[in-house]
Structure 1
Amino acid sequence: MKRTPLNALYVADAISLTGNAIAQLAIPWFVLTTTGSATFTALVVFFNFLPIVIAAFFGGVIVDRLGFRTTSVVADLASAGAVAAIPLLHLTVGIELWQLMILVFVGALLDAPGATARAAVLPDMVELAGIRMERASGIRGGIQQGALLVGAPLGGLLVAAFGATNALWLNSASFLISAALVSFFVPRPGANAEEEAPGRFLAELAEGMRFIWNERVLRAVVLTVLLTNLLDAPFPVVMAVFAEDEYGSATDLGLMYGVFGGAALLGALAYSAVGHRLPRRRTFVGCFAALPLVYLAMATRPTLPAALVALAVVGFAAGPINPLIFTVLAEVVPTHLRGRVFGAVRAGAWAAIPLGILVGGALVGTIGVAKTFLVIGVGYSAVVGYGFFNPAFRGMDRSRSEGKIES
């Protein structure tokens, strides 16, 4: 019974993330096939990521004030309504591009605090269950990747069979199920001795930022992920154009996402099993070093089987990265700051994604898919190469000995 709340949280994440994976394929495909414009497609994806940055940064204070469980439930219910409005409008009066952008923006704005809240409550559920944080983080990472594995091919099939907007009904339903699971099975965390009465909003926000700034390893992680996410940001746009140009099918696009997600799932589960034995810095830098390979491979415009092989190799290397980062965060961040710090780290890591989406869409339209992949691959190699020489990442191994480790 001690593991029931943790398992419920895992299932809630799995269902919600699967719905999001469907939406991340369905919305860009709808815009691309409707307008024929990579730039408009990038613009809609931009409006999906921009509010995540805003809400994650400012919403962390709300998460800490309302409580992790309450914020998760309320955010999921609100997101369900925003997402359901897209297919509802399309089926009744029709939906314009500007309306779609607004609803995508609102849905993402509401979803971000819920995701932060579920992440913030996880360490308490892990402690209640009595398992290692590496194991729990690896399972959580596996669920995140598994959602892509299931959601992307399912999204491709749904889009091909029923249309892009109709596929969004499942995304709306996923939020409702997630809210119900957290509400019924995840207990409210007990009072924390370090918890203080709410103060001014900006002062509380600044407290979380100071904590990140004073932790050298957190600063280094945020900067690295910010830069790599800037380069990764055009991926949905470039891959959608690539799939249409080379293979001509949403199903093939979903298959490529699914292979990447399946390999990343295996990588995350491998970290769950053996992560507590691995040197964190070497694992982190080594896994990141493999990621540019997928862009360099795609620049050659490979056949579908060759593309799937490249995505599988890089996906496996990507799998342990987020679980490792989350393990470090869970060890070093105090409970009363989790909402602010987790939210600010997420916002900092994702801050460049909206810019990357727009730049990537413009690059595809200007220089083509192959050259865009090549530019991203070269830039990615430069960023991750610096990680081998950055001493701040040694703090990852120190946090293991200084932080609280569950046995």
Structure 2
Amino acid sequence: MKKTKLFQRDFTMVVIGQIISLFGNGILRFALPLYLLRETESSALFGMVTACSFIPMVIFSFFGGVIADRVNKRNIMVVLDFSTAGLICIFYAAFQRLPLVPLMIVVLMILYGISGAYQPAVQASIPLLAESDTLMQANAVINMVGTLSGLLGPVIGGILFGSFGIKPILALSIVCFLASAVMEIFIHIPYEKTSYSKGAVAIVKEDLKESWYFVKNEKPAFIAVVCILALFNLVLSAALIVGIPIMIIQILGMSDMHLGAAQGAMGVGGLLGGILAGAVHEKMKMKDSWILLAVCACAALLMGMTLIPGMPNQLGFWVITVMSLVIMVASTIFTVQMMTVLQQQTPPHLLGKIMAAIMAVANCAQPAGQALYGVLFDIFSEIPWVVMSGGAVVAFLISLYSKRAFQKLNND
């Protein structure tokens, strides 16, 4: 049997476009919240702004899936990359001329909203550009691209921010989005144009109804798994997004470059996880995925333990950095497995909507968790280890509870 080649022209161009676009996104996501934390020195405000910025991502990822199944996916990528470049140009012009906090909230909300609408188009295009026998590898590559950008973004962003401030980062991100948009114009993704007799609202309503009918009647295991992921994101993912900058910058008193290194370690972990995902997918089945969530919870517990009074700050930094890497290895393997199983069990005409809905529901609780952790780190500023360790213990209990849901998904 002839082996299918994964890196065809169009898939390769999607990968390159993702590298450029996500790198620009990565340095912005690193620098903008860090600038806010440095300027305000408020954990609660930092958590609140981060939470607000995630809300549009959840909403737009849901409707982005409907759009991805109805519109040429290439055009979605091109328009959104050009839009992001325009947004950062406006922010650059308004920077230090308008009040910081409202401006930051608006820009981050729009930035994350665009990201939420962008990713369903990418995810839905993968099965159209890769054959079924290379689908697992294609998902692993796309995840590795995201984590590679997550590695380079914080590392380079930390160096630039520490040396020159935020303006060079804004300029570099504009160049990245423009370059990605221009290159994506030349990508061909299979698409059949359909004429519609109904209005946009009616189409969206009908699509969502069809997706819900499929999940409810054909794949009820999806519902249980997504609810577990939402709970896990509320408890642990939110703690990491808000907690790592607070722990390194405020509690341990480290530099911006230290934070960039720690978040860069997460990128390295994502790369390793992407490599390992292709190697272990035949050995580790979906029913065993709860183990990966448990590993993430245990790693977060070790992070919390380093904040106990008397622990050297340098030791705390290295433990947080190494455990960040471990968490990303485990979570990336989990994500690749999950995405592949969901893509294999979903009809092609529902793929964009189902994938977007799953991402939206799984992430819907995360903003509340981010706001909560920002407040908790302020309240328990004298004993911050309680916040991180407590969240890790609850996350571990959730991973144990998830065993039955993953068993059911595995059997399907």
TM-score normalised to the size of structure 2? Answer: 0.88
Q: Which residue of 2 aligns with 1:246?
A: 252
Q: Which residue of 2 aligns with 1:236?
A: 241
Residue 73 of structure 1 contacts residue 179 of structure 1 at CA under 8 Å; is this kept in 2? Answer: yes
Instruction: Give identity over the alignment, percent.
Output: 25
Q: Name the SS for the 2:254 alignment partner.
A: coil
CA distance in 1, matches of 2:350, 2:252: 47
Q: Which residue of 2 aligns with 1:386?
A: 401
Q: Which amino acid aligns with 1:75?
A: L
Deviation at 1:162, TM superposition (A): 1.9
Residue 69 of structure 2 contacts residue 349 of structure 2 at CA under 8 Å; is this kept in 1? Answer: yes
List runs of 5+ in structure 1 lacking aligned partners: 400-407
CA distance in 2, matches of 1:286, 1:50: 29
Residue 377 of structure 2 contacts residue 387 of structure 2 at CA under 8 Å; is this kept in 1? Answer: yes
CA distance in 2, matches of 1:260, 1:38: 22
C-alpha distance after superposition, 1:87-130 (max 9, x if no partner): 23216x35531122112212222232121111111111112xx7
Within 5 Å, give how 1:175-214 maps onto structure 2: 175-184=177-186, 186-191=187-192, 197=196, 199=198, 200=202, 201-214=204-217
Q: Which residue of 1 aligns with 2:336?
A: 323
Residue 239 of structure 2 contacts residue 391 of structure 2 at CA under 8 Å; is this kept in 1? Answer: no
List runs of 5+ in structure 2 lacking aligned partners: 308-314
**Does 2:361 match 1:358?**
no
CA distance in 2, matches of 1:295, 1:120: 32
- Equivalent residue for 2:54, pick from 27, 49, 55: 49
Deviation at 1:361, TM superposition (A): 0.4
Deviation at 1:305, TM superposition (A): 2.5
Q: Which amino acid aligns with 1:30?
A: Y
**Residues 217 and 16 (structure 1), Cα distance of their counterparts in 2 relative to 1, 3 Å cut:** farther
Deviation at 1:67, TM superposition (A): 2.5
Residue 28 of structure 1 contacts residue 237 of structure 1 at CA under 8 Å; is this kept in 2? Answer: no
Pick which of 69-78 and 163-172 moved more: 163-172
C-alpha distance after superposition, 1:38-65 (max 9, x if no partner): 1221122122211001111223222222
Deviation at 1:373, TM superposition (A): 0.4
Q: Which residue of 2 aligns with 1:259?
A: 265
Pick which of 80-89 and 114-123 moved more: 80-89
Q: Which residue of 1 aligns with 2:138?
A: 136
Q: Which residue of 2 aligns with 1:294?
A: 299
CA distance in 2, matches of 1:162, 1:360: 30
C-alpha distance after superposition, 1:194-220 (max 9, x if no partner): x89575121222222333333123213
Q: Name the SS for the 1:233 alignment partner.
A: helix
Q: Which residue of 2 aligns with 1:115?
A: 119
Residue 65 of structure 1 contacts residue 198 of structure 1 at CA under 8 Å; is this kept in 2? Answer: no
Residue 16 of structure 1 contacts residue 175 of structure 1 at CA under 8 Å; is this kept in 2? Answer: yes
CA distance in 2, matches of 1:177, 1:233: 32
CA distance in 2, matches of 1:187, 1:39: 45
**Does 2:260 match 1:272?**
no
**Residues 209 and 81 (structure 1), Cα distance of their counterparts in 2 relative to 1, 3 Å cut:** farther
CA distance in 2, matches of 1:171, 1:224: 35
**Does 2:165 match 1:160?**
no
CA distance in 2, matches of 1:324, 1:70: 28
Aligned-residue CA RMSD in angstroms? 2.2
Q: Which amino acid aligns with 2:366?
A: I
Within 5 Å, give how 1:54-65 maps onto structure 2: 54-65=59-70
C-alpha distance after superposition, 1:245-278 (max 9, x if no partner): 2142111111111112212311221112342453
C-alpha distance after superposition, 1:136-169 (max 9, x if no partner): 1112222222221111111111211121354233
Deviation at 1:398, TM superposition (A): 4.2
Q: Which amino acid aligns with 2:246?
A: V
Deviation at 1:66, TM superposition (A): 1.8
Residue 10 of structure 2 contacts residue 189 of structure 2 at CA under 8 Å; is this kept in 1? Answer: no
Residue 303 of structure 2 contacts residue 316 of structure 2 at CA under 8 Å; is this kept in 1? Answer: no
Q: Which amino acid aligns with 1:212?
A: V
Residue 222 of structure 1 contacts residue 345 of structure 1 at CA under 8 Å; is this kept in 2? Answer: yes
**Residues 165 and 104 (structure 1), Cα distance of their counterparts in 2 relative to 1, 3 Å cut:** farther
Deviation at 1:396, TM superposition (A): 4.1
CA distance in 1, matches of 2:182, 2:161: 27
**Residues 94 and 325 (structure 1), Cα distance of their counterparts in 2 relative to 1, 3 Å cut:** same
Between the two proteins, the alignment pairs up a number of residues equal to: 390
